[in-house]
A = this chain, B = another copy of it.
Amino acid sequence: MKNHTRTDVAKLAGVSTATVSNVLNNKKNISDATRQRVLAVIQQLDYQPSMVARSLVTQETRQLCIILNDLENPYYSGVVQGFENEAWQEGYFVNVCSGYSDLATYCDSIISRRVDGVFITTVRHDNDDDHIQRLLKAGIKVVVSGCDEVDLKQISDLEIDYYDGMHQIVHHLYGLGHREISYLNGVPKTTTVDQRLDGYRQALLDHNLTYGDALLIFNRPPFETTLLSGQQMVQRLLQSGRSFSAIITTNDLMAMGVIRGLHQAGLRVPEDVSVVGIDNIRLAELWEPSLTTLSVPQRIMGVKAFHLLYTNIKMGNTGYFKLRPHLIERQSTGSANRGHLRS
């Protein structure tokens, strides 16, 4: 019932408690004979040193937190998986804090538990800054993502180059002959979404394509980026009467909704209209037609976030990293010549 302690082992092996500690931590000055004896007793009792007691002395818990909005969003599951796997390799446990979007809720608990580091997957500028400061004051290392103004002296930052990604998309479509490329925007005032929009605008200019707001459809309240909202937004695009041959959406779910909406309007994908999403969720390659999309490396994102935290914990220096997404060409995009532009 009750766990054995270092004292139990020491008594049974006929040594002092310090010797048991020294054996466990591979310290010098222990004869092979006693080492074997102690190890045998440890095995015999199935003794596991208490990480709780150890943490109290060493001031490190080897626990990390990952904070996210919605674990059921397949994008985040991948990130968590990568983060946890990598953390485990180095002996860290990962606490998942999901479902309560804001850091504020978890902040006290995180500090109280003396977690070594926190990965905040999506920062909300308005709210989170103060709480991040509290974490830092408590000596907790922080990695953030989706944030444009970061004090890199204090915090590590891990970003995705949506700007570049958007250029890849436009370049791909341009190569297929598309000249009228629409973009359905996501939830406004989110850093990552703004980057995508900027990228879209700049990429059009770089390809000498006239940029007009008529091809840019904004999200409306209630701001959602679901299949349904994609379906509704493409209807607005069609009603606008503007001619277009390709549509980019702010994420894959919306792209799927767009495909549905186009089908309902009697248009084929990709024969009449090409569609590109962002994220490359699993669903993307299973959809019909399978989705051309920007592959955001979810697991690598998690892995990298851990490494940033780890070097911060061990060496004390923060870091910055930008991941480059890459385009995955599938069946939802095709040559603009093949079909006709919208009447």
Chain A residues close to B by CB (< 8 Å): 1-3, 46, 48-53, 55-56, 61, 63, 70-72, 74, 77-78, 80-81, 84-85, 88, 91, 93-100, 108-109, 111-114, 134, 137-139, 227, 256, 260, 282-283, 286, 288
Please determine whether A98 and B113 come into contact, CB atoms closer than 8 angstroms: no
Complex contacts, A93 vs chain B, CB 8 Å = 95, 97, 109, 113
A52 to B72, CA, bound (A): 31
Please determine whether B46 and A137 come into contact, CB atoms closer than 8 angstroms: yes
Complex contacts, A74 vs chain B, CB 8 Å = 72, 74, 77
Complex contacts, A52 vs chain B, CB 8 Å = 52, 55-56, 61, 113-114
Q: A72-B78, A93-B113 are in contact. List 16 more A-B contacts (CB 8 A).
A: A48-B112, A48-B138, A50-B112, A52-B113, A71-B71, A71-B77, A72-B81, A77-B77, A84-B96, A84-B98, A91-B109, A94-B95, A95-B95, A95-B96, A283-B283, A288-B288
**Copies of the polypeptide in the assembly:** 2
Complex contacts, A56 vs chain B, CB 8 Å = 50, 52-53, 56
Please determine whether B99 and A46 come into contact, CB atoms closer than 8 angstroms: no
Residue of chain B at shortest CB distance from A93: B95
Please determine whether B95 and A81 come into contact, CB atoms closer than 8 angstroms: no
Q: Tell me the minimal C-beta distance from A140 to chain B in angstroms.
A: 10
A-B contact pairs, 14 of them (CB 8 A): A3-B111, A46-B134, A46-B137, A52-B56, A56-B56, A71-B77, A81-B98, A85-B98, A85-B99, A88-B99, A91-B109, A94-B96, A95-B96, A256-B286
Complex contacts, A72 vs chain B, CB 8 Å = 74, 77-78, 81, 282
* Given the contacts A88-B100, A93-B113, A256-B286, A108 and B78 also touching, CB distance less than 8 Å: no
A77 to B81, CA, bound (A): 11
A51 to B46, CA, bound (A): 26
Please determine whether B288 and A3 come into contact, CB atoms closer than 8 angstroms: no
* Given the contacts A3-B114, A256-B286, A286-B227, A108 and B48 also touching, CB distance less than 8 Å: yes
Q: Tell me the minimal C-beta distance from A290 to chain B in angstroms.
A: 11
A85 to B282, CA, bound (A): 25
Complex contacts, A46 vs chain B, CB 8 Å = 134, 137
Complex contacts, A80 vs chain B, CB 8 Å = 71, 96, 98
A74 to B80, CA, bound (A): 13
Please determine whether A138 and B95 come into contact, CB atoms closer than 8 angstroms: no
Q: Tell me the minimal C-beta distance from A331 to chain B in angstroms.
A: 14
A74 to B139, CA, bound (A): 35
Q: Which of B3, B138, B260 contacts A3 (CB 8 A)?
A: B138
